[in-house]
Structure 1
Amino acid sequence: MTPDPSPTSRPWWQGAVIYQIYPRSFASSDASGTGDLEGIRQHLDHLEWLGVDAIWLSPFYRSPMDDFGYDISDHCDVDPTFGTLEDFDRLVADCHARGIRVVVDWVPNHTSDRHPWFEAARSSRDDPHRDWYVWRDPTPDGAPPNNWVAAFTGPEPAWTFDEATGQWYLHLFLPSQPDVSWDHPDLEAAMHDVLRFWLDRGVDGIRADVLHAIGKDPALPDDADELIPIPHSGLNHVPEVTLPRVRRLRDLLDSYPGDRMMVGEVYLLDTSLVAQYYDGGRGLHLSFNFPPLYAPWDAGAWRERVDEVEELIEPVGWPTWVLSNHDNRRHRTRYGSEDRARAAAVLLLGLRGTPFLYAGEELGLSDAPIPADRVVDPGGRDGCRAPVPWTATPDHGWGTEDAWLPWPPEAGTGGDAASQRDDPSSILHLYRRVLAARRGSPALTHGDQRVLVAPEGTLAWERTADGDRRVVVVGFAGAEDPLALDGDLVVEVASDGVGEGTAFDGVVGPDRALVLRPA
């Protein structure tokens, strides 16, 4: 069914489960070995069966692919690698027909150096687009204007000298990704027009890439010496400049019907800073908070992360939770076993907030080993972007055995979607059961949350809403002691599938997680 454009109680994104798709790696509609939009559309049955509420598409725009789509040369067209605008429109229509919303990536901090805007800007200091980017004169000794370090390039300056016009231009990422200047009102207006283009095509939300970087200190001061060589993209925080721009973006989205949503990538590893971008309800609808993504498999560490979100995020906005994405090692790889990956699924989907799943985590995939001659990503992220295996055949449903990256290690050992769908004990079926439990429980979708007293090695919390109650229990390493809980409880979902539908006996055990409901 088409998503309700005017929900009466709360916005759709509160408590929704959003599934990230990296288009190159999800599914191919031909034998090219590279995923595309039509391949995504052909696998919507999987997403509907799984029970997700929305998909987030990583960039599919025209691009030279130096950063695999995050270097955009045309914001308002589909790169031929992925199909056409007509393919995109069909995908959105089919998603909406199934009740699945669509969120698209938007890159507001930089473009490709082959974008017409930048080609014009570097053609002359007098070109009208010149000030759409960040240019500075050399220092007296010819050096870059400050000591900022770029991402992906090692401890290299975030500046490249343009011989033709005699100035340095700023790039927080690759030299082929020049930063735009939001100080120029025409640039801001053009970026708003980009959003209108996709909102008018029916998208339900945007994921704003490195959003905290669109506001920079006009003085461009040096970073502290002790922070070098941390890339400036992880340090930039100038809320007095950035937040007014975010408010105007929020106003734009709120001018559209249907609760259009903006989730920001605020890559600052300090939750108190991330919280500022909610801006008292005037800024982001949602913001990624990355410290939990880096938390080890440890009850104490996760208790700190949960408490931090409760203290810093919940007073100002609705939280998000994420364990894997296209920029980081998969949590199956980080945690080291399928048992832990299973327990982590219950952890992620049981916390108060909006969880984001990364395509393939429902199959328990780990990172693919990448031989030196197959490395393509400048940021070393190829392993987590390995293609999703759909079948047990040698081509794994891609039409070729030689996809754009090597297969994840589980692809040939029952880790494909078809084999797991036929196996009720698989991690895929676990994700489906947890998602069904969420969908059927007001407590789990939007209820209050209270962390409970638990033995060492165990984390437990209670969710309540409208007379509905659930308890989520996660046993980490060392979780051996029984857990005493109020009331008679039944195991609704167990990460290992054992004991579902039976009374909870107080035993969790290590690397195991449970969703409990009243008897």
Structure 2
Amino acid sequence: MPEKMEWWQKTTVYQIYPRSFKDTTGNGVGDLRGVIEKLDYLTELGIETIWFSPFYPSPQEDHGYDITNFVDVEPEYGTLADFDELLADAHKRGLKIVLDMILNHTSDKHPWFLESRASRDNPKRDWYIWRDGRGKNGKKPPNKWKGMTGGRAWVYDELTEQWYFHHFLPFQPDLNMRNPEVKKAMFDVCRFWLDRGVDGFRLDIFHSTFVDAEFRDNPWVWTLLPSETHMRSFFQDHIYDLHLQETFEYAIELRKLIDEYSPPRFLVGEVQGTLEHLRRYYGPNNNGLNTVFLFPFSTLPMNPKKIHKIVSKFEDLLPPPSVPTWVYSNHDRIRMISRFSDDPAKAKVMAMLQLTLRGVPYIYYGEEIGIPQVKFSLRKSQDPIGRKYWWVPITQIKRFGFSLTRDGCRTPMQWSAAPNAGFSPNPEAVTWLKISKTYTKINVEVQEKDPNSLLNFYRRLLKVRRSQIALQEGELQLESPMKNSLLYYRSHPSQKLAILLNFSKKQLILPAPLPTPTLIFSIHLHSQALDQFEPTKNVTLQPFEGIILQ
């Protein structure tokens, strides 16, 4: 490991979906002042960095990922002055602030696109990707590319009789990053927020930033559904519209931009692809994106062998000083606890794995109290993807983290058993999404009073993570997996820790991993892990118990 690690190499990140965190105006929608109100809660939880999903001005057709102004705040969420206050208050508490940055597309209502769409000779025409169509009168799309959510990736514009390209949804036209004016404009956007003091960016669908300059058709393949581990979907191998060489080079340019700032800032990329793709975003000399999301981890079962296999792959792929990331859920994915039968005992073991591996863990708001996935009708979905697939009979498969509507993982935070779960000060407010019926029993207020709650488990473990140098900076050594348990070490020149996890509902008796162990932490408040250490030299793990030994 390097002599000095930067903050972003060892931080713990908490994602806030502003629309669902805390409403202070009584309109049923979360806002920035709601986050300010809860900064002490976040500090006490023990996280160190907050990542905000978008709060920029937007028609909200994709709830903030369709932007009409990159350098302001949507009035529904507050003002720039509110954000500046939030940033200052967070920094006073030692918290870092990371913003979602959408570099590759805008809303079709953004002034840039309205100009681009006005005529073929408009100065901003080349700010987006426009092409003549094929066939009679150009009424067929320019090529056969499919969008990330299925269907063709082109929209025909009757006024100018050309097609514009979109990777995601039709109302989110892609910017033409080959145009130097566009690249400069987006660099200026980044500088606007960095100059205000923001500590970094999460880069939305970054692997889609550039497309093939010749617009060649993607090869046809026998693959329908997308995956975390390849770039094939909707019967295409996306070699011409994803992971282009220019995108890897762009990652290096962005890193140079943020490295102009002090104290250090950081970038995390939302990318999906092969292991080789993921590695290339870090740059040939760790001079690209600081980190990327490693989404195969998010679908792991409670299986020590499979966990060992994927963690080993990422350790081999990203040895120090590269930094892995560990994420279970976010605003696009089924909530973590619902992948494990909504069982807090199982959630604790999996969270302990996440928070004790080498790298940067990401906690999604509400994960710390076990908010479950909520089922929504596709026809009535707020999420446009859900409405697009209203006709599909299966809406979600929790075990695999699959859901056709993202509404179910975006429900309002559950602060108390009061009306509207304490999310809104107005008990009569109609919240933008319905609140989980579990809120009377699963909420912050109830769990704060229960020493054995999921919330207090997170608080205890995050406190240990911050206080133990080996958990922050130590190297990782994985031992061969056992049938129901996993052992690994975190080693620093000044400290060595052993982490033992029991993924089963059985008591396990295992050889002690250290000669004279001291218990630093246990999931169980009254652990008996070392009760039989003398004279057996064994460690006893209760069902779903995890321990840290020194």
TM-score range, shorter chain: over 0.9
Alignment of 1:399-418 (within 5 A): 399-401=425-427, 402-413=430-441, 415-418=442-445
**1:8 Cα deviation after fit:** 9.1
Mapped partners of 1:299, 1:323: distance in 2: 16
Letter in 1 for 2:38: H
Deviation at 1:517, TM superposition (A): 2.3
Partner residue of 1:313 out of 299, 315, 318: 318
CA displacement 1:91-126 (0-9 Å, x = unmatched): 000000110010000001100000011111111111
Summarize the alignment of residues 321-336 of structure 1 with structure 2, pairs less than 5 Å apart. 321-336=326-341
1:75 aligns with 2:77: no
Task: Call closer, same or farther: CA 1:8–1:347 in 2, change over 3 Å.
Answer: closer
Are residues 134 and 513 of structure 1, via their aligned partners in 2, closer, same or farther at CA, if it must alter by over 3 Å?
Answer: farther
2:278 alignment partner, one of 270, 274, 282: 274
**Helix, strand or coil for the counterpart of 2:70?**
strand
Instruction: Work out the CA distance in 2 between the residues paired with 1:493 and 1:369.
Output: 36
Question: What is the distance in 2 between the residues matched to 1:144 and 1:133?
Answer: 16
Cα pair distance change 1:468/1:119, threshold 3 Å: same
* Cross-structure match for 1:138: 133
1:475 correspondence with 2:472? no
Alignment partner, residue 407 of structure 2: 382
- The answer to whether the Cα contact below 8 Å between 1:212 and 1:237 also exists between their aligned partners in 2 is yes
Deviations 1:53-78 (CA, angstroms, capped at 9, x unpaired): 11000000000011100000000010
- 2:478 maps to 451
Query: Is the Cα contact below 8 Å between 2:49 and 2:96 reproduced in 1?
Result: yes
**1:14–1:500 distance in 2 versus 1, CA, 3 Å:** farther
Q: Which moved more, 1:155-164 or 1:64-73?
A: 155-164
Following superposition of structure 1 onto structure 2, how do residues 208-357 of structure 1 map, counting pairs within 5 Å?
208-226=203-221, 229-230=224-225, 235=238, 236-268=241-273, 270-279=274-283, 280-314=285-319, 317-336=322-341, 337-357=343-363
Matched pairs, number? 507
Does the CA-based 8 Å contact 2:119-2:160 persist in structure 1?
A: yes
State how far apart, in whole Å, the 2-side matches of 1:233 and 1:170 are.
19
State the Cα distance separating 1:501 from its structure 2 match: 8.8
Going from structure 1 to structure 2, the CA distance change for 1:451 and 1:130 (only over 3 Å counts) comes to same
In structure 1, how many angstroms separate the alpha carbons of the residues matched to 2:327 and 2:98?
16
Q: Which one of the candidate residues 509, 525, 531 is aligned to 1:497?
A: 525
- Kindly indicate whether residue 416 of structure 2 is the aligned counterpart of residue 391 of structure 1: yes
Amino acid in the other structure paired with 2:486: L
* 1:364-379 matched pairs, under 5 angstroms: 364-371=370-377, 374-379=380-385
Pick from 155, 160, 165 the counterpart of residue 170 of structure 1.
165
Deviation at 1:515, TM superposition (A): 3.1
Taking structure 1 as the reference length, the TM-score comes to 0.93
- Judged with a 3 Å threshold, the aligned counterparts in structure 2 of structure 1 residues 372 and 125 are, in CA distance, closer, same or farther, namely closer
Residue 482 of structure 1 aligns to a residue whose secondary structure is: strand
TM-aligned CA distance change 1:103 to 1:315, over 3 Å: same
Residue 17 of structure 1 is matched in structure 2 by 12
Secondary structure of the residue that 1:225 maps to in structure 2?
A: coil
SS in 1 for 2:500: strand
Secondary structure of the 1:186 match is helix
Structure 2 unaligned residues grouped into runs of 5+: 386-404
Distance in 1, matches of 2:207 and 2:222, equals: 18
CA distance in 2, matches of 1:497, 1:219: 62
The correspondence for 1:111, drawn from 77, 97, 106, is 106
> SS of 1:194's equivalent?
helix
In the other structure, the counterpart of 1:205 is 200
Could you tell me which runs of 5 or more consecutive residues in structure 1 were left unpaired when the two chains were aligned. 1-6
- Counterparts of residues 38-117 of structure 1 (less than 5 Å): 38-117=33-112
Aligned partner of 1:464 among 491, 496, 505: 491
1:486 is the counterpart of 2:481: no
Query: Could you say what secondary structure the match of 1:497 adopts?
Result: coil
The offset of 1:489, in angstroms, is 2.3
- C-alpha separation between the residues in 2 aligned to 1:274 and 1:315? 15
Whether 1:514 and 2:542 are equivalent positions in the alignment is no
The one of 145, 149, 156 aligned to 1:148? 145
Cα-to-partner distance string for 1:336-392 (whole Å, 9 max, x where unaligned): 122111111101101100111101000011112324675201231001001011111
Of residues 114-123 and 471-480 in structure 1, the stretch that sits farther from structure 2 once superposed is: 471-480
- Measured in 2, the distance between the counterparts of 1:169 and 1:230 equals 24
Q: 1:365 to 1:98 in 2, by over 3 A?
A: same
Bigger mean CA deviation after superposition, 91-100 or 135-144: 135-144
Structure 1 segment 172-191 matched on structure 2, within 5 A = 172-191=167-186
1:441 aligned onto 2:468: yes
Contact 1:112–1:176 (Cα < 8 Å) also in 2: yes
- The alpha carbon displacement at 1:486 in A equals 2.8
CA 1:481–1:495 in 2, change beyond 3 Å: closer, same or farther?
closer
CA contact (8 A) 1:250 1:282 kept: yes
C-alpha RMSD of matched pairs (Å): 2.1
Q: Distance in 1 between matches of 2:215 and 2:112?
A: 23
Quick one: distance in 2 between partners of 1:205 and 1:393? 36
Structure 1 contact 333–366 (Cα < 8 Å) conserved: yes
* Cα distance between partner residues in 1 of 2:98 and 2:545: 30
Alpha-carbon distance, 1:151 to partner: 3.3
TM-score using structure 2 length = 0.88
Bigger drift between 442-451 and 363-372 goes to 363-372
Deviation at 1:490, TM superposition (A): 3.4
Aligned mates of 1:103, 1:70 — CA distance in 2: 16
- Letter of the aligned partner of 2:449 in structure 1? D
Residues 128 and 479 (structure 1), Cα distance of their counterparts in 2 relative to 1, 3 Å cut:
farther
Post-superposition Cα deviations, 1:291-334, rounded to whole Å, max 9, x if no partner, equal 00112222122111101101112267211110111100011011
- Kept in 1: contact 2:134–2:142 (CA 8 A): yes
**CA-CA distance at 1:476 after TM superposition:** 2.2
Query: What is the rounded CA distance, in whole Å, between the counterparts of 2:97 and 2:301 in structure 1?
Result: 31
User: Residue 326 of structure 2 aligns to which amino acid in structure 1?
Assistant: W
Q: 1:233 to 1:377 in 2, by over 3 A?
A: farther
SS of 1:187 mapped into structure 2: helix
Is the CA contact 1:367–1:409 (under 8 Å) kept in the aligned structure 2?
A: no
Paired residue type of 1:344: M
Q: Which of 419, 442, 446 is equivalent to 1:419?
A: 446
Q: Does the 8 Å CA contact 2:305/2:482 hold for their aligned counterparts?
A: no
Aligned to 1:36: 31
CA distance in 2, matches of 1:373, 1:419: 34
Contact 1:271 1:291 in 2 (8 A): no
> 2:364 maps to which residue?
358
Matched position secondary structure for 1:267: coil
- Deviation of residue 480 (structure 1)? 5.6
- Counterpart amino acid of 1:295? L
